[in-house]
Structure 1
Amino acid sequence: MDTATITPGHWLRADAAASYARMRAAGMPAGITSAGRTYAEQVAIFTSLYSQVNTGRDYQRWDGRDWWRKNDGGTGYAAPPGTSTHETGVSLDLPEPARAWVRAHGVAYGWRHDTVRGEPWHMTYYPGDDQHQEDDVALTQDDLERVKEASANGLTVLLAEAAAGSTTRGRQAAAALRAITAVDADALADAVADALPATGGGITKAQVRQAAKAALVDVLTGGTGKA
């Protein structure tokens, strides 16, 4: 199991840790009571609450034997060692106000309160419910090139719409461009042309630059052709 430290002394399974980091970045308050645990740590917690002495209180089965809650064992739940979601690194015990934040927003990040009796602080991560898993996935070079090309193509279309005033967004773009004071249409057109992807079909970069300048001048001057 791949794990990651989320705060000093606390760890989670790697995917749960990444989700926790996304929640913190989204505004979740700091504060952790318990996170991932080793088997030995779960044994220590369980045996602090339960023993093989029949106290008449609630009991659980572990290691082939019955374990009753001690008279001084409180009311909190402790899973038998080997069955706790803390041991698999997908559960957090949270104090307030972190707990309230996760209750309000955690579902979108894959976290929800389990119906563990007497433990409103116990939250568990379900990766299948995490809507933000792709948020921090690194883009490949191919991905970046596709984004660049799509952005350039979108800009070309937007400039054409701005020049023609044919769409609402085109008119808004034209108005925004006209609002730029002391704009240098030539320099701006050069920058736009340089940002466009390489052309094909015999069209040269100079022709692209010329077309970009013409379109921008038309937009910036409101179709008069005069700056």
Structure 2
Amino acid sequence: MTSTLTGGSSPQPQILLLAKAPVPGRVKTRLCPPCTPAQAARIAAASLADTLGTVSATTAGARVLVVDGRYPAPPGWTTLAQRGGPLSDRLASAFADTRTPRRPALLIGMDTPQLTPGLLGAALNLLGVADGPDAVLGPAADGGWWALGLRDPAHAEALRTVPTSTATTGRRTLAALRARGLRVHVLPHLRDVDTAADASTVAALCPPASRFASVVAAEIPAGAG
């Protein structure tokens, strides 16, 4: 059966930002080489900062930084430690640990600094309207996904059985959601940042004031990757 919320209007959707503290040697290791671990961490920090700024500029019912490690969230945010071992479990736990009655949730990562408040707001609006989809899914160019929104976050349990970081993760996630009877709206594809080539391509899509674009220009040689 399709899951829907009934009995009046639901609270404004919340945004969950799944992130890893930008510690050298623990983040963006696929940028090395050409980057050093310290350079990769600076790129990760800039990507996270831009994403935090985008989410802060987007109207939402709540904003939660679900973080691996320690990182200060901006004012108006809640910070929550990631829980679980494999990424699939940490994703499902992020939805479970922030779940509030009748409130939809949209989870994104820190690897798409080109994300705009307009695109993020459009995804939230789909979850917030009474006759909207049960879920929204943003496919990533590498086969994964950059966003998952659920009208009923309890359905995130489906993620625990989906292998992550593969070329079929996005497709399998979509299938798992539909197997639960959910109506899924597919969001625009975005490229996330894994390699130096990804970083350069994504930086070119960011606005001129982007911290990510500035740091990539400083840390990654032209043509690297």
With normalisation by structure 1, the TM-score equals 0.23
TM-score normalised per structure 2: 0.23
| Higher helix content, 1 or 2 | 1
Higher relative contact order (CA 8 A, sep 6+): 2
Q: Indicate the structure (1 or 2) with the bigger Cα radius of gyration.
A: 1
